[in-house]
Amino acid sequence: MAVVSGEALENLATENRLFPPSESFARQANAQPAMYEEAAADREAFWARQASELQWSQPWTNVLDWTDAPVSKWFVGGKLNVSVNCVDRHVAAGIGDRVAIYFEGEPGDTQTITYKDLLDSVSQAANALTELNVRPGDRVAIYMPLIPEAIIAMLACARIGAAHSVVFGGFSAEALRSRIEDAAASLVITADGGFRKGNMFGLKSAVDEAVKDTPTVKNVLVVRRTGQDVAWNSGLDIWWHDIVGKQSTTHAPESFDSEHPLFILYTSGTTGKPKGILHTTGGYLTQAAYTHKNVFDLKPETDVYWCTADVGWITGHSYVTYGPLANGATQVIYEGTPDTPHQGRWWEIIAKYGVTILYTAPTAIRTFMKWGDHLPQAHDLLSLRLLGSVGEPINPEAWMWYREVIGGNNCPIVDTWWQTETGSIMISPLPGVTATKPGSAMGPIPGISAEIFDDAGKPVGLGSGGYLVLTQPWPGMLRGIWGDMDRYRENYWSRFKNTYFAGDGAKWDTDGAIWLLGRVDDVMNISGHRISTTEVESALVSHPTVAEAAVVGASDDTTGQGIVAFVILRAGSVDGPGVAQELRAHVAKEIGAIARPRQILIVAELPKTRSGKIMRRLLRDVAENRTLGDVTTLADPTIMNLISSGLSNSSSDDD
Ligand code: PRX
């Protein structure tokens, strides 16, 4: 008989709690119960209604063209300019004085940017890009800290029809180089550096290293953020303030086809090579704006919205740049880490700006739980009226803590499931409409069709689990993988016929709520960031002392998963005190600090089947201190004893 621990019973009790929307919230909510029926009755008409909230310079003739599936076309024939939708139209509507961005730098410097200011800056930046010969369809890499210029750069690209490829500032020079190369970017926009954990970090130095081997790059545009010394290549480098500052604040925007590329964003897949996820214009903006308005219940006149994501991730694209600005929101952006200069910084920011809507990740929530209730309790958080979560499954305890300690039991929580590929939120409660359960993303939002399939592609019933799939095209869906449409078809559309396979496991509970269960492929989720096991393995074997490596994601109380690597050294290389440390640093250099393994175990052998396949399942058992599963298919079953006994004297730390 299975033994159920007291803790599991408590979780069960929490999971089964149901929080219906409060009457007062429901009364004022943007979302309405009828939206579900409306969308179900005529999905395309529903999406057309959402799209018509944007400003189009030419109307579409056809809502959806799916004849070239799995590549969709939305709002066919329509034309618009994304930056006009995010900026100009608000100024034209007379709300140019509304604050678009409250910027909070880590050292404490601030900026208040109105929509009119934003229009001037985006116009100047667009003029500068044109002067630098950036043309519609060109690719621009953006490698920046979270400062206003990052958003301005994205909007300027969109304004002139160039596709941006934002590369998270925590990625290494090598990761940047490979992304610049894959997209054949002609311009890199960066900064000298940024502020993080009380220190300056460098970005320009990484760009210098990356562009040595990327001949497509004609210029590097550099924002001065920290004032640190940087090397200067006068043939390539230009200061932002030199070229952008002198431009006219007027720029006549051109309109682009609804299917014109808006951006590429690289994300990890199951191979070592990141995928350039391609998003286009009209459908993407429609869904970003619709979800931002309805899932966060945005009231642009009164709300102060704060999404804590960096623009280097899809959340920063859809819910810092495009969704909020399309809706004329006032938002906060914060450059730094939550514990600088003290662990109450976020709560201080919420109190300072009167933040009403907070959107963050479970890993942050669990970190704050660990730091203690006294920190948020020392600040006035009463302005908050809605809380959101994204990036990984939120455990019921963290959900309850978020609700009670941050939300004062007074804010609906929206647990939003989506992906870089989906562009915008897909599965989430609608605040004011959906009763929520702690830890469940509840169900697909109106306009979206999700299912859970078994191995054979049959829907599983209520109370059962399987693979999460999306059964109908949606406006914000990816249009492909940059330069590799075969991989697009293979990756997402071959597992089940005519159905998008998300790579996540999920289950229906008996009430019909969806519970996300994590990835079912070799993709790890570290603090809400996707990293493939193969990518880390490739980084490890590129080190001269490593013969072979196997990487698994082991569950971690704070980060969701932690990276654990099993490494076989080359003959002649000796395991010593510094080896694991050096390998961890090597991975950070190859990919970025977020991919640095939590733990590296030097082993003599890896568990393999007779056909040579590494059995990660067993390695995961070891990494999570579980009793080993079935070892009978191993070529050499004794290997696992050796590996397990090595665990106790392994090298690890968590810096
Ligand atoms: O596994 C799911 C998890 O994050 C993956 C997508 O990662 P990425 O493309 O980096 O985008 C993250 C931000 C949208 C998904 O395949 N994930 C995301 N949100 C949730 C989630 N898992 C459970 N619950 C969520 N709310």
Closest CA to 523 of 501, 553, 496, 487: 553
CA distance 9 to 208: 55
Tokens of 399: 């959900």
Confidence of residue 33 (pLDDT cuts 50, 70, 90): very high
Protein residue with least CA distance to atom 7, ligand 1: 419
The reported pLDDT for the residue numbered 555 is 92
Closest CA to 313 of 361, 381, 272: 361
Mean pLDDT across the chain? 94
Query: Residue 501 in contact with residue 492, Cβ under 8 Å?
Result: yes
The reported pLDDT for the residue numbered 8 is 52
Tokens of 131: 């002067």
Q: Given the DSSP bridges, would you call strands 651-652 and 599-602 parallel, antiparallel or unpaired?
A: antiparallel
Question: What is the DSSP code (8-state) at residue 268?
Answer: -
CA distance 339 to 521: 33
Tokens of 618: 């067993």
Confidence of residue 3 (pLDDT cuts 50, 70, 90): very low
Tokens of 628: 């080993």
Strand order in the sheet with 187-191: 237-239, 219-223, 187-191, 139-143, 163-166, 261-267, 275-280, 480-481
Fold match between domain 8-505 and domain 527-652: no
Domain segments of the chain: what residues?
8-505, 527-652
Q: What is the CATH class of 527-652?
A: alpha beta
Query: Residue 520 in contact with residue 505, Cβ under 8 Å?
Result: yes
What residues does 223 pair with on adjacent strands?
Answer: 191
The reported pLDDT for the residue numbered 580 is 93
The residue with tokens 């190369």 is 181
The reported pLDDT for the residue numbered 649 is 46
In this model, does residue 2 exceed pLDDT 80?
no
Closest CA to 190 of 161, 254, 233, 159: 233
CA distance 270 to 530: 10
The reported pLDDT for the residue numbered 295 is 98
* Residue scoring higher pLDDT (83 or 268): 83
Q: Name residues contacting ligand 1 (CB within 6 A).
A: 267, 314-315, 390-393, 415-420, 441, 502-504, 516, 519, 525, 530
Closest CA to 231 of 176, 177, 192, 188: 192
Protein residue with least CA distance to atom 5, ligand 1: 419
**In the predicted model, what is the mean pLDDT of residues 390-410?**
96
Confidence of residue 4 (pLDDT cuts 50, 70, 90): very low
The reported pLDDT for the residue numbered 573 is 85
Residue whose CB lies within 8 A of the most ligand 1 atoms, among 291, 322, 418, for a mutation test: 418
445 phi/psi in degrees, rounded to 5: -75, 165
Residue 608: count other Cβ atoms within 10 Å of its Cβ: 17
Q: How far is the centre of ligand 1, averaged over its atoms, from the C-alpha of 528 (Å)?
A: 7
3-state DSSP assignment of residue 107? coil
CA distance 403 to 389: 11
The reported pLDDT for the residue numbered 34 is 98
Q: How far is the centre of ligand 1, averaged over its atoms, from the C-alpha of 518 (Å)?
A: 8
Give the contacts of 295 (CB within 8 A, at least 6 positions apart): 31, 388, 414, 416, 425, 428, 430, 431, 445
Q: How far is the centre of ligand 1, averaged over its atoms, from the C-alpha of 359 (Å)?
A: 14
The reported pLDDT for the residue numbered 270 is 80
E strands, 432-545, where?
A: 450-453, 465-470, 480-481, 500-508, 514-519, 523-526, 529-532
Domain 8-505 belongs in CATH node 3.40.190.10: no
Protein residue with least CA distance to atom 26, ligand 1: 417
Residue 347: count other Cβ atoms within 10 Å of its Cβ: 20
Protein residue with least CA distance to atom 2, ligand 1: 392
60: Cα separation from own chain's centroid:
30
Closest CA to 477 of 303, 284, 221, 238: 284
The reported pLDDT for the residue numbered 11 is 54
In this model, does residue 261 exceed pLDDT 80?
yes
Confidence of residue 12 (pLDDT cuts 50, 70, 90): low
% the chain with pLDDT above 70:
96
Tokens of 307: 């999404």
CA distance 565 to 567: 6
CA–CA distances in Å: residue 188 to residues 175, 203, 263, 270: 14, 11, 14, 27
270: Cα separation from own chain's centroid:
17
Q: How many Cα atoms sit within 13 Å of 276 on the Cβ side?
A: 26
Q: What atom of ligand 1 comes closest to residue 428's alpha carbon? A: 26
The reported pLDDT for the residue numbered 654 is 37
* Residue scoring higher pLDDT (578 or 296): 296
Q: How far is the centre of ligand 1, averaged over its atoms, from the C-alpha of 416 (Å)?
A: 8
Residue whose CB lies within 8 A of the most ligand 1 atoms, among 419, 523, 527, for a mutation test: 419
Q: What atom of ligand 1 comes closest to residue 502's alpha carbon? A: 16
Confidence of residue 470 (pLDDT cuts 50, 70, 90): very high
Length of the chain, please?
655
CA distance 90 to 92: 5
Q: How far is the centre of ligand 1, averaged over its atoms, from the C-alpha of 254 (Å)?
A: 34
CA distance 527 to 340: 19
Confidence of residue 1 (pLDDT cuts 50, 70, 90): very low
Of the listed ranges 73-82, 272-281, 642-651, the least confidently predicted one is 642-651
In this model, does residue 651 exceed pLDDT 90?
no
pLDDT digits (tens, 9 = 90+) for 495-546: 999 999 999 999 999 999 999 999 998 899 999 899 999 999 999 999 999 9
Query: Residue 350 in contact with residue 320, Cβ under 8 Å?
Result: no
Q: What atom of ligand 1 comes closest to residue 519's alpha carbon? A: 1
The reported pLDDT for the residue numbered 577 is 80
Closest CA to 522 of 617, 450, 426: 617
Tokens of 158: 């969109």
CA distance 273 to 337: 29
Q: Given the DSSP bridges, would you call strands 331-334 and 305-307 parallel, antiparallel or unpaired?
A: parallel
Annotate 382-397 with DSSP letters as a single string. TT--EEEEESSPPPHH
589 phi/psi in degrees, rounded to 5: -70, -40
Contacts for 480-484: CB closer than 8 Å, 24+ residues apart: 480/71, 480/278, 481/275, 481/276, 481/277, 481/278, 482/182, 482/183, 482/264, 482/275, 482/276, 482/277, 482/278, 483/182, 483/276, 484/275, 484/276
User: Please, is 650 exposed, middle or buried when counting C-beta atoms within 10 Å of its C-beta (0-12, 13-18, 19+)?
Assistant: middle
Protein residue with least CA distance to atom 6, ligand 1: 419
The pTM score is: 0.93
Annotate 597-639 with DSSP letters as a single string. -SEEEE-S---BBTT--B-HHHHHHHHTTPPP---TTBSSTTH
Closest CA to 178 of 267, 85, 274, 92: 274
In this model, does residue 254 exceed pLDDT 50?
yes
Contacts for 260-263: CB closer than 8 Å, 24+ residues apart: 260/136, 260/137, 260/161, 261/137, 261/163, 261/479, 262/82, 262/158, 262/163, 262/164, 263/154, 263/157, 263/158, 263/163, 263/164, 263/165, 263/166, 263/317
